[in-house]
Structure 1
Amino acid sequence: MAVSKKRDKDVYKAPRNLGKPQSDNPKWLVPTAVSLLIFGLAWIVVYYITAANYPLPIGNYNLLIGFVFLGGGMVVLTRWK
């Protein structure tokens, strides 16, 4: 009876122990992001409640400032793991 030949090809096997993720979140990340989001929202709310008199007398640019704070909070959250 014929005997089959063994296959001696090396097969790649992924490592089983991948360990911890490379790094955790910095401690400043979440408080900074939440602070920026809340500050931006508060800026816009104050602008609307005071009929465009506060926080600064620069008109609709107050909306831009509020949205910049909100956008900054969202940019910081992109680093969150």
Structure 2
Amino acid sequence: MPESRARKKATYTPPTTKSSASKQSASWYAPVMCALFLIGLAYIVVFYITQGKYPIEALGPWNVIVGFGVIMVGFVMATRWR
């Protein structure tokens, strides 16, 4: 009975490793994120305290949407913060 050929083993190559240094956000990132939270909150509070006269009277109730939009930008930044 004929013998099968022996297989040549491939040389071992170790898996590539990712850099051990974790990526961090820039130093300005967290203050801007917190500032957006506070600006959005202040925008909405000013709208309710002035009974819709400020910050922009022409927008009317859409001022609340603008305030929440600024807050949402802060939340999006919070999800990417490291």
Q: TM-score category by the smaller chain?
A: 0.7 to 0.9
CA distances 1:36-63 after superposition (whole Å, capped 9, x unpaired): 1000000000000001110001210100
Greater helix percent: which structure?
2
Contact 1:41–1:70 (CA under 8 A) maintained in structure 2: yes
Could you say which residue in structure 1 is the equivalent of 2:28? 28
**How many pairs does the alignment contain?**
64
Q: Give me the whole-angstrom Cα distance separating, in 2, the residues matched to 1:50 and 1:36.
A: 21
Could you say which residue in structure 1 is the equivalent of 2:70? 69
- Name structure 2 gaps, 5 residues minimum: 1-18
Report percent identity of matched pairs. 37
Matches within 5 A, 1:1-81: 19-21=20-22, 23-57=23-57, 58-81=59-82
- Name structure 1 gaps, 5 residues minimum: 1-17
Spell out structure 1 runs of 4+ moving beyond 2 A. none
**TM-score normalised by structure 2 residue count:** 0.71
C-alpha deviation, 1:71, in angstroms: 0.2
Q: Give me the whole-angstrom Cα distance separating, in 1, the residues matched to 2:60 and 2:20.
A: 53
C-alpha deviation, 1:20, in angstroms: 2.9
Contact 1:29–1:77 (CA under 8 A) maintained in structure 2: no
Could you say which residue in structure 2 is the equivalent of 1:7? none
